[in-house]
Structures are given as C-alpha cells and as structure tokens.
Structure 1
Amino acid sequence: MEQIINAKNLTLGYEGEKNPVIKNASFSINKNDFIVITGKSGSGKSTLLKSFYGGIGILNGELDVCFTNLKNINNRNLKELRQKIGIVFQDYKLVNDWTIEKNVMLPLEIDSQSKTICKKRSEHFLKYVKLGHKIGKYPLELSGGEQQRVAVARAIVHEPNLLLCDEPTGNLDEVSSNMVWDFLRAARDSWGTCVVVVTHRAPSTLKFNFRHFEIKERKVVERF
C-alpha cells in the first residue's frame, strides 16, 4: 500500500533541551489511513504533528511526507509540500478581520487559483460544513464549534493529500465534536485524504475503523 508518511529512527526536539521529545521512532502511514495519535500532555503529540509539515526540524533519522524528504528541506520544496497538506488547529487560527468566506479561500489563493474558483469552492465547502447561511459573517460572530467548522472547511477546500489535526475538538461540546469527527471521516472517504489527528484520548464513540498510535516514553507505538 502506498505510504504518505514514512519515519525511520526519527528524533525530534527543540534547541536548548537536553532530551529529545521523540526518539528513534519508526512507523509508516498509508495514503488512505485515518490515524489517531494519543499521549499524555507534554508527550510530544503536537511536536510530531509539526514535523509532518516542516514546523520543526529533524534532529536525527529520516522523515518522508507526501513523497518529500523533510531532512534539510529547502524553502521552495517546503512550500510545495504544504500545498498538499491541510491543517486544523485547536484554537482555529482564523483571521478575525476577514469574513469566513475569505478565510476558507486562503489555501486556494496561495495556490494562485482564480477569484471565480476561490469563491465557488469556498461557498461549496462552507455549505458542506453547514455554514452556507453565514457566509458573510466574521469568525468572532460565530460560536466555537462553528469557527472550528470554518477551520475544517479551510483545511479541506483544496482537497489535500494529507489532513493534520491538532486537538481539533479539544474546546468543543459533544455535538460540535461529533460533527467535526464526521467531517474528518468524510474527507478520507470522499477524497481519499489521509487524516492524522492528535488528541489526549481516542473517542469511544467513533463508528469507523482507524489506526491508533500512542506516544509513550518518547516512542511512537501502534496500538491494536
């Protein structure tokens, strides 16, 4: 099966720290996988996720993401890689001075798509996350759950190969959380997007198969 992420003896950490956060991790993630990565606070979940989009450098080992080697990657190749990736953050990271429509357009504008395509796809994906009726609203006019749905729309509007989610339901109530999980699953099922979610705990309510990785004692271990 085609691998979209492949790590060999991957070691990650931050300058000034004596001990690496992740040490000698080896694992692979396939193109159509839905991955849930769990671990205690401070275990390195977000650090590992950052490494997948080049947000943190590699101390040792190898990491290939979307068929790109991230070790000593240059800025041009990093930009090309990120155009294949969508990211959903716990705190949404929306631009509050922009309408939600313009927020969702951002990945398409970065990819130099025409204004017509940007507008059409933004409208389509806001309707997809059930916010088409609020297209002219600004983020702070929405609830937290609605803002996260905008963030999901922005992350999938360009139908990425890889969708990375950092605690996407950490601030949401149960109803909003379930909606977000449904949208993430649909991204995998509809477009074959590989979805990787880091969270404190894998929800017991998920009604679909996923692979479960746990970060424990700086290792990345698959749980069966």
Structure 2
Amino acid sequence: MQNIISARNLTLAYEHEEVIIKNANVDIKTNDFVFITGKSGSGKSTLLKSFYAEISPRAGELNVCLTSLNNIGKSDLNKLRQRIGIIFQNYRLINEWSVEKNVMLPLIIKGVSYSVCKKQAAKLLKHVNMLHKAHKYPLELSGGEQQRVAMARALAHNPNLLLCDEPTGNLDEYSSDVIWSLLMSAREYLGTSIVVVTHHIPLNLRIPYRHFHIEEGSINEIV
C-alpha cells in the first residue's frame, strides 16, 4: 500500500531554536488511522505542522501526498493543502460567518461554484448532525457543536489526509465520542487517512490503528 506520509531522518526545529524532532523515520500508509502521543512539549503539534508545511524540515526528507515538502514552492503548497483537511483543538471557525459558510470555505478557496459549495455543505452538515444549525454562527454553538462544524469543514473538499490536533481535548465525554465516531466513519466510508495528535487514545475505539510515541525528540512506533 502506498505511503501518504514518508519521513526519512527528519529533523524539525523553529528558527534559531533547539531541535524538537531529530532523525525521525515514519511511514504512514493510505487509509491508516494513526495516533501520535507524547508529553506536553514533546513535539506532537510541531510534527503535525510539518505535515501541512507550516514548518519546514531543518534536515532530512519529508513527503506528504506524494509531494516533497523540502523547499516546497507556493504553487505546490496550495495544491498539497487542497488534499489535506485539518481539525484544530480550538476549532478556528470564522465567527462572522454562518455555520454553512464556514463549511463552504475550502471549496470557496478552490473556486467551486456556489451551488456545489452549498450542496456539499448541506451533505456534510447532515453527516455531523448539524444541518439544523446551518444558519447559526459559531459563538451560538457549544464546543462539541463547533468541533463537529470544524470536522465538516475539514472534509468539505474530500481530502486524502485528515490531520487532527487534540480534536477532543476541550470536549466532554459525549461530544468526544461523537468526534471519534465521525473520524472512524471518514476513514471507513471516504477512505481518508487519519492522523491524530492526542494525550490519550480512547479505550473503546473499534478499529485497528497505529500508535507513534514521541520522547526526547525520537519517534517510535508502539506495537
């Protein structure tokens, strides 16, 4: 099966700062469901940021969706991000936009027609059980509802890869269970590869998954 993420001797660090990830070798395959764990400050979010090119490799090689992220140009970066969906812990919804328009955002950026944007938004909001709140605004929603909208937005452009940064970190148990169920269905029915940064892997997950742990800058797979 093809790798959707491949890292070879990957070293990551912010400008003028100490190395966070060093000499990492990671292969994540198409349709994998992957958890990345580690202590606070271990580099989990930094690694995730490298996967969507918010931080560039200091050394080594990184390929995501068959695209090299070493010195990637703006045009290739835009194409890459059209193949990736991102779910942030703090949702990052646009408060001045309706729920419907927030979900439409990736398609608007892609230049898709308004009618198609609207149809796709309705389909995804129905999938996350938020269609009845399509014309509400983010600040009118609970945290769990905002995260479900964020998930619908992340899936709007049918990404090959879904990156999730602590997607249930601020949610209660019920809302967390809803998010995990939606992530599992995205993998099962859409064939999306899922990578989740988290402090805790849910105990009741009913699918096979892979687990990478970061400690002192090293990434090791737990088998």
TM (normalized to structure 1)?
A: 0.98
Residue in 2 aligned with 1:209? 208
- Whole-Å separation in 2 of the counterparts to 1:3 and 1:155: 21
Residue in 1 aligned with 2:48? 49
- Whole-Å separation in 2 of the counterparts to 1:15 and 1:156: 32
Deviation at 1:179, TM superposition (A): 0.4
- Whole-Å separation in 1 of the counterparts to 2:132 and 2:200: 33
Deviation at 1:184, TM superposition (A): 0.7
- Whole-Å separation in 1 of the counterparts to 2:201 and 2:10: 24
- Whole-Å separation in 1 of the counterparts to 2:200 and 2:43: 14
Residue in 1 aligned with 2:11? 11
Paired residue type of 2:74: N
Per-residue deviation, residues 117-159 of structure 1 (Å, max 9, x unmatched): 0000001100110011111000000000000000000001111
- Whole-Å separation in 1 of the counterparts to 2:53 and 2:44: 15
- Whole-Å separation in 1 of the counterparts to 2:171 and 2:192: 24
Runs of 4+ more than 3 Å apart: none
Residue in 2 aligned with 1:73? 72
Deviation at 1:214, TM superposition (A): 0.4
Q: Is the 8 A contact 1:10 1:60 kept in 2?
A: yes
Residue in 2 aligned with 1:156? 155
Please, which runs of 5 or more residues in structure 1 have no aligned partner? none
Deviation at 1:83, TM superposition (A): 0.3
Q: Is the 8 A contact 1:166 1:197 kept in 2?
A: yes
Paired residue type of 1:80: K
Residue in 1 aligned with 2:144? 145
- Whole-Å separation in 2 of the counterparts to 1:109 and 1:77: 19
Residue in 2 aligned with 1:96? 95
The alignment covers a number of residue pairs equal to 223
- Percent identity, please: 59
Residue in 2 aligned with 1:20? 19
- Equivalent residues in 2 for 1:161-200 (5 A)? 161-200=160-199
Q: Is the 8 A contact 1:39 1:201 kept in 2?
A: no
State the SS of the aligned residue for 1:222. Answer: strand
Matched, 1:124 2:123: yes
Per-residue deviation, residues 32-73 of structure 1 (Å, max 9, x unmatched): 100010000000000000000000011000000000000000
Deviation at 1:24, TM superposition (A): 0.1
State the SS of the aligned residue for 1:168. Answer: coil
- Whole-Å separation in 2 of the counterparts to 1:173 and 1:156: 23
Deviation at 1:209, TM superposition (A): 1.1
Deviation at 1:16, TM superposition (A): 1.9
Paired residue type of 2:98: T
Deviation at 1:202, TM superposition (A): 1.1
Per-residue deviation, residues 90-142 of structure 1 (Å, max 9, x unmatched): 00000000000000000111111110100000011001100111110000000
Q: Is the 8 A contact 1:88 1:155 kept in 2?
A: yes
Please, which runs of 5 or more residues in structure 2 have no aligned partner? none
- Whole-Å separation in 2 of the counterparts to 1:128 and 1:115: 20
Deviation at 1:201, TM superposition (A): 1.7
- Whole-Å separation in 1 of the counterparts to 2:58 and 2:153: 31
TM (normalized to structure 2)?
A: 0.99
